[in-house]
């Protein structure tokens, strides 16, 4: 027997003799001495944990900040190292049980159950912190918005908590976790009912990710759920959308594959927001250009915007159509890499529709609407210079 063991043994015997001299029975004295030793181990384990926590906060933090990798930064921020240190007191107590209170098997069993449950809870906390770290690291990658993993991590959390719950239950009832897993078949229907939304959400998340149906940052519309805004979060069960009024709408993830929705991602991918609007021209104002009209057109517009005359450009509507095409091709808010059309639509009882079909480089809704309004205000102002009139249904200001 080592010197330390002999010293400990001598101290225990002296302490026991002292208790007997104070009037305690031999049995009670042995009980007090044994559990006092366990108490010393408990205090020692807490001191060791405090030292480890001090080292983590002072020295390990400095090493983490100096390293080039970001993994250790996020592991530290999410308290992975601190929570791992919580296992040290449980390990020390578990080792000390058989040597301090070996004569009390029931008490040892009770402590082992408590320490087992404590260790499982700590491991679950560590796993949750690690999942948070993975989510933060993945969030900095370029594919994070296109392939979100929040739903998968939530499934992993559910699995970890489910396994942890089974192990804790096995500690409490004294049965093997395998026996509990074998009995899950009998309550599978209940589990399916409890986790129905999670299962449906997981299936929907896989399909959304695989088919690239929706990404964080996409603008989507789903009138049934009053959603018309930007996707800010895609999780296992819900999708969060921030509308233009900054209200937050939550949509069940499964609804995205069981119902229809509109994704406006094509606006960003196409490089602009589509502009498609027509002005109605009075058919009676369309005529051939005489010398006076041509002179007025030349006076107001440069030769660059009115090309050389051909047969179709001797009509004021044709000249106006070509002018608008040239105007759009010089407009700073119009994407010149995409289609630019000024076309006539079939005439109807309201006149001749002249449609502007182009793409604005402005994707923000407010900026786009302001630019589009300014464009058509200009169109309305120059129509009379071509001898044309905007059609307006006769009312109180009826003119023949």
Any domain includes 277: yes
Q: Strand order of the sheet with strand 227-234?
A: 248-252, 238-243, 227-234, 219-222, 262-263
Instruction: Please count the other Cβ atoms lying within 10 Å of the Cβ belonging to residue 103.
Output: 10
For every one of its 400 residues, what pLDDT tens digit does the chain have, with 9 covering 90 and above? 343 344 444 555 665 555 555 556 556 666 666 666 677 778 888 888 888 888 888 888 788 777 777 777 888 888 888 888 888 888 888 877 776 666 667 777 788 888 888 899 999 999 988 988 888 888 777 777 667 777 778 778 888 888 888 888 888 887 777 776 666 665 666 666 777 777 777 777 777 776 777 878 788 888 888 888 888 888 777 888 988 778 888 888 888 877 888 777 766 666 667 788 899 999 888 888 887 887 777 766 655 555 544 444 578 888 888 889 888 988 888 888 888 899 999 988 888 999 999 888 887 778 888 999 999 999 998 888 888 988 887 654 545 4
Query: Which tokens sit at 164?
Result: 């942890």
Which has the closest alpha carbon to 262: 196, 189, 213?
Answer: 213
Contact (Cβ atoms closer than 8 angstroms) between residue 392 and residue 281: no
Question: In the prediction, which pLDDT does 188 show?
Answer: 65
Q: Of the residues 267, 291, 319, which one is the last residue of a structural domain? A: 267
Q: Of the residues 140, 174, 189, which one is the last residue of a structural domain? A: 140
Same domain? 233 vs 326: no
d(CA 38, CA 51): 20
Question: In the prediction, which pLDDT does 191 show?
Answer: 65
Give the CATH number of the domain where residue 238 resides.
Answer: 2.30.30.60
Same domain? 231 vs 355: no
26 phi and psi, to 5 degrees? -60, -40
Same domain? 233 vs 292: no
Any domain includes 180: no
Helix (H) or strand (E) holding 372: helix 365-382
CB neighbours of 47 closer than 8 A, spacing ≥ 6?
A: none
Same domain? 329 vs 252: no
Instruction: Please count the other Cβ atoms lying within 10 Å of the Cβ belonging to residue 99.
Output: 13
Same domain? 208 vs 133: no
Query: Which tokens sit at 305?
Result: 């915007």
Same domain? 287 vs 370: yes
Structure letter (DSSP) for residue 305: T
Same domain? 260 vs 288: no
Any domain includes 168: no
Contact (Cβ atoms closer than 8 angstroms) between residue 170 and residue 162: no
Please tell me the total count of domains within the chain. 3
Q: Of the residues 88, 109, 140, which one is the last residue of a structural domain? A: 140
d(CA 14, CA 18): 6
Domain span at residue 312 reads 271-386
Same domain? 275 vs 253: no
Same domain? 309 vs 326: yes
Specify the residue for token string 């003119």.
Answer: 399
Same domain? 237 vs 288: no
d(CA 219, CA 244): 10
Same domain? 277 vs 258: no
Question: In the prediction, which pLDDT does 5 show?
Answer: 42
CB neighbours of 13 closer than 8 A, spacing ≥ 6?
A: none
Contact (Cβ atoms closer than 8 angstroms) between residue 334 and residue 359: yes
């Amino acid at each position: 027997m080592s010197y330390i063991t002999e010293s400990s043994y001598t101290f225990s015997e002296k302490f026991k003799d002292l208790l007997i001299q104070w009037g305690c029975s031999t049995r009670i004295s042995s009980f007090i001495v044994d559990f006092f030793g366990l108490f010393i181990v408990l205090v020692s384990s807490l001191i060791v944990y405090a030292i480890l926590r001090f080292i983590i906060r002072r020295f390990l933090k400095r090493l983490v900040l100096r390293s080039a990798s970001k993994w250790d930064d996020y592991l530290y921020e999410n308290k992975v190292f601190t929570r791992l240190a919580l296992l040290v007191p449980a390990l020390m107590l578990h080792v000390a049980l058989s040597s301090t209170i070996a004569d009390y098997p029931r008490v040892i069993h009770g402590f082992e159950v408590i320490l087992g449950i404590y260790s499982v809870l700590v491991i679950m906390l560590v796993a949750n912190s690690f999942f948070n770290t993975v989510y933060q690291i993945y969030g900095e990658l370029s594919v994070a918005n296109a392939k979100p993993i929040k739903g998968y991590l939530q499934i992993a959390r559910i699995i970890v908590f489910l396994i942890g719950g089974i192990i804790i239950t096995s500690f409490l009832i004294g049965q093997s976790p395998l026996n509990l897993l074998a009995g899950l078949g009998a309550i599978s229907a209940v589990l399916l009912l409890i986790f129905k939304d999670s299962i449906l959400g997981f299936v929907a998340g896989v399909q959304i990710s695989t088919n690239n149906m929706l990404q964080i940052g996409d603008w989507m519309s789903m009138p049934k759920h009053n959603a018309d805004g930007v996707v800010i979060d895609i999780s296992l069960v819900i999708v969060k959308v921030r509308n233009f009024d900054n209200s937050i709408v939550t949509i069940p993830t499964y609804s995205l594959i069981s119902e229809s929705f509109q994704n406006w991602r094509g606006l960003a991918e196409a490089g602009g927001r589509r502009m498609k609007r027509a002005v109605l021209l009075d058919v009676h104002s369309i005529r051939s250009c005489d010398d006076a009209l041509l002179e007025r057109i030349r006076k107001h517009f440069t030769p660059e915007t009115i090309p050389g005359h051909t047969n179709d450009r001797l009509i004021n509507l044709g000249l106006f159509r070509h002018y608008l095409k040239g105007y759009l091709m010089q407009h700073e808010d119009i994407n010149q890499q995409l289609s630019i059309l000024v076309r006539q639509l079939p005439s109807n009882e309201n006149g001749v529709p002249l449609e502007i079909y182009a793409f604005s480089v402005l994707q923000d809704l407010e900026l786009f609407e302001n630019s589009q309004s300014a464009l058509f205000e200009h169109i309305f102002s120059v129509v009379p210079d071509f001898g044309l009139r905007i059609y307006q249904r006769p009312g109180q200001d009826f003119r023949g």
